[in-house]
Amino acid sequence: MGLTDRQWFTLRRLHSLSGILPVGVFLANHFFFNSFAVSGQGPFNDKVELLRSLPYLVLIETFGIFVPIAFHAVLGVLIYREAKFNNRRLSYAHNHMFTIQRISGVILIFFITYHVLFTRFAHWFGHDTSDMYALLHDQFRSPWLFAAYVIGVLAASYHLGNGLFGFSIHWGLASSRTGQRRMARVGMAIALLFAAVGINALLGFEPLDGRLKPVRLFNLQEEPAAIEARIPAETAPVDARHATEESR
């Protein structure tokens, strides 16, 4: 039995809402925490351990991340099957945006599945997850895998930015043509911002054996542990000897 127009309209609104809350909020949080990779291995792993220590983590992941993403993806597939990619009611540019939105959604289904399996559940495949920075650094030695992650970040950024445009229409926030054009520009600006932050976070893992570096917008103070690691081992006995002589 097919859906009525009212039921279809309700599902479209729920789909657009779930793309912003909580999926869009999670994406912003995910890119933010991944950006600690720009500070190096220690700060990134510290944030990973902080997330792992959250109370009720399994419930948060299940009902705050996995279920909403699955709900959004299933509805997205249904909408994709009903989509008309050359809608004469839309402008030429909006038809392209509409098409890319659907394509980016399909890309994200495969990308997110891979990303979750080989990060959150990487131990299932025999990978050591005690050092997530090293795990991702090793993965990004492959140009193909790094390129796949760049495509995934671009797809997620565009999907969210253009999704904001669709959200504003479905929920009546931009009913006039002027308002819709404004929201389209805002959505693309947000997409570009997310893409820049997301790709810079990837560069923080020094992909391709360190040939690519991230952009740092602030000065980072080196941690004492990192400073000690740079001190040659042979200086330790000398320092100990001086300390002994001074104590005499």
Instruction: Answer whether 183's CB lies under 8 Å from 164's CB.
Output: yes
- Model confidence over 190-222: pLDDT tens digits? 999 999 999 999 999 999 998 999 998 765 554
Q: What average pLDDT is seen over the chain? A: 85
- CA–CA dist 127, 192 (Å, integer): 33
Instruction: Answer whether 119's CB lies under 8 Å from 136's CB.
Output: yes
Closest CA to 111 of 159, 59, 50: 159
Instruction: Answer whether 21's CB lies under 8 Å from 163's CB.
Output: no
| Domains located in the chain, CATH noted | 5-247 (1.20.1300.10)
Residue 122's pLDDT band (boundaries 50, 70, 90)? very high
| Res 216: pLDDT | 87
Is residue 49 packed enough to be buried (19+ CB in 10 Å), middle (13-18) or exposed (0-12)? exposed
Closest CA to 67 of 33, 121, 18, 137: 18
Percentage of residues in the chain having pLDDT higher than 90: 64
